[in-house]
Structure 1
Amino acid sequence: MTPADLHRGVAELTTREPLFAAVVDRHGFPPMWDRPPGLPSLLHIMLEQQVSLASARATFDRVKQLADPLTAANLLRLDDLQLRGAGFSRQKTRYARAMATAVLDGSLDLDALPTLDDHAVEAALRTLPGIGPWTSAIYLLSALGRPDAWPNGDLAVAVGIAELWQLPAVPTPAEILLRAEAWRPWRAVAARLLWQQYLATRAPRSGPV
C-alpha cells in the first residue's frame, strides 16, 4: 500500500462512515505505520505480543545490538542466556529460534511472501510456533502493505471501536470481525484510523506498529 492508496482508503471510509471522518477531523490523517519486510520486522511483531510497545521495542533494540546485523544466522548464534538477558521470555526465545531456523533452512521464504495473496501469506507464517492470526495480520498490514489486512484481536482497535461507537463494553473479536466486514477492501486503513483514535486520547507514543 502506497501513501496514495492510504489517502484513497481514508477518503472512501470517511465517506461511508461519519465516525471515521470525525477521527480525521479531530486527530488528523493517520500515518502509514509501516515497516520493512523481512526477519527483523517479523521478530519485532512477535515480541510485541502481549507486552507494551515500549517493552517490545527495548527488547528488539537489545537483540539488534547483539546480532548485528540482525539475520537468521546471527540470531541463532546467540545462546538462550543472551536472549533472556535481552528481554526474551522462554517462550519467545523458542519462537525466535524456530523463526530463524525456518528462514535459514528455506522452509519460510520471506522474500517470496510479497508475491503471495493474503491467505497464502498467513498460511506460510502460521506454520511457525508463536505466529497466529494477529502477528500474521500485522505483518501483512505493516510490512507487506496489504490494504485489507485486519488485525482481529488487537486491543487498541477494539478499544478504538468502543470509544468511537460509544459502546458499553469493548466488543469481542467475533463482534469486531463482523463489524469490519463493512470496511472492506480497506480494513487495514480502518485499523489505522482506529489506532489514530486510540493513540490520540492517550499518552504520546510512536505508534502501534
Structure 2
Amino acid sequence: MPQQFTSATYHSICDQLAAIDADFANVISTYGYPPMWSRPNTFETLVHIILEQQVSLASALSALNKMRERVPELTPARILLLTDTEFRECYFSRQKTAYTRYLAEAILSGQINLEAFEKMEDSEIRSQLCALKGIGNWTVDVYLMFVLQRTDILPLGDLAIVNAIKRLKGLPKETSKEELAIIGEQWQPYRTVASMLLWHYYLSSPKAKP
C-alpha cells in the first residue's frame, strides 16, 4: 500500500521535519502547525484542480461555484450535457472546458478510475493522468497531496512553493529548481508535509506574500 499521512500522524511528521530542519521548527513556533488541507477523491475535485491551473485560487473557486449553481451534483455524465455557452457562463475558458470534457470522457469510458487510484503507486497514477490532455505534473502533484495524502511530493511547479523555499532559506532569486530539489531531498520521505509547512509559511508571513 502506498505511504500516506493521516490526521493522526500529521503533527508527528511536522515535528520530525522540525527536528531535522531548524527553519521548519521556526515556522511551527511562529505560526503553529499548518492546516492539513485535504479534498475528497471525486470528479469535482479534479475539475477544481484543473480550474486552479495558472489562475488565483479565488478565481478558480468562483468558477467552480458558478458551475455548482448550474449543476448541483457535478458528475462526468452531467458535465458532458453542457454546451460551450453554458461552460463560458460559468467562467470556464475554452481550454479548461476541453480539459474538463476530456476528463469526464476518460472516467465514463473506464480509462480513469479514481477509486482504483487509492491503491496504486504514485508513478502509475501520474502516468495515467498525464496521458489526458490538459493534465500535467502540477495537477497530479496537487491530486496526490491533497486527495490521496501521499507523503513524498514536492511540487516545484508551484510558484508559492518555489518562492517559500527561497525566502525561508535566504536564497537568491535565480536559484534553480534543480538546486531546490536537492535542498528538498533532506525532507524525504515527507516532502508533502514539508510542502504544507512551506505553504503555511508563505500564507502566514507578511514578507512571503506577493
TM-score, scaled relative to structure 1: 0.93
Name the SS for the 2:141 alignment partner: helix
Q: Distance in 2 between matches of 1:22 and 1:49?
A: 31
Q: 1:56 to 1:202 in 2, by over 3 A?
A: farther
Contact 1:158 1:170 in 2 (8 A): no
Mean Cα deviation higher: 122-131 or 138-147 = 122-131
Q: Distance in 1 between matches of 2:61 and 2:145?
A: 19
Name the residue aligned to 2:53: 49
Instruction: Note the C-alpha offset of 1:173.
Output: 2.6
* Residue-by-residue CA offset, 1:153-172 (whole Å, 9 max, x unaligned): 11111111111111221643
Q: Which of residues 114, 121, 124 is equivalent to 1:120?
A: 124
Contact 1:160 1:195 in 2 (8 A): yes
- The reply on whether 1:139 has 2:147 as its aligned counterpart is no
* Residue-by-residue CA offset, 1:55-89 (whole Å, 9 max, x unaligned): 00000111122222000001111111111111111
Name the residue aligned to 2:99: 95
Name the SS for the 2:118 alignment partner: helix
- The reply on whether 1:77 has 2:66 as its aligned counterpart is no
Correspondence 1:156-195 to 2 at 5 A = 156-169=160-173, 171-195=175-199
Task: Kindly provide the amino acid, as one letter, of the partner of residue 72 in structure 2.
Answer: D
Identity of matched residues, %:
40
Instruction: Note the C-alpha offset of 1:185.
Output: 0.5
Name the SS for the 1:36 alignment partner: coil
Instruction: Note the C-alpha offset of 1:175.
Output: 2.4
Task: Kindly provide the amino acid, as one letter, of the partner of residue 61 in structure 1.
Answer: N
* Residue-by-residue CA offset, 1:156-197 (whole Å, 9 max, x unaligned): 111111111112216433222222111111000000000011
Name the SS for the 1:145 alignment partner: coil
Task: Kindly provide the amino acid, as one letter, of the partner of residue 9 in structure 2.
Answer: D
Q: 1:170 to 1:11 in 2, by over 3 A?
A: farther
Mean Cα deviation higher: 142-151 or 165-174 = 165-174
Q: Distance in 2 between matches of 1:124 and 1:146?
A: 17
Name the residue aligned to 1:4: 8
Task: Kindly provide the amino acid, as one letter, of the partner of residue 186 in structure 1.
Answer: Y
- The reply on whether 1:35 has 2:42 as its aligned counterpart is no
Contact 1:68 1:74 in 2 (8 A): no
TM-score, scaled relative to structure 2: 0.93
Aligned length in residues: 204
- The reply on whether 1:23 has 2:27 as its aligned counterpart is yes
Please provide the CA RMSD for this pair: 1.6
Q: Distance in 1 between matches of 2:173 and 2:65?
A: 36
- The reply on whether 1:129 has 2:99 as its aligned counterpart is no
Which runs of 5 or more structure 2 residues have no equivalent in the other structure?
none
Q: Distance in 2 between matches of 1:170 and 1:16?
A: 26
Q: 1:86 to 1:170 in 2, by over 3 A?
A: farther
Name the residue aligned to 1:152: 156
Task: Kindly provide the amino acid, as one letter, of the partner of residue 136 in structure 2.
Answer: G
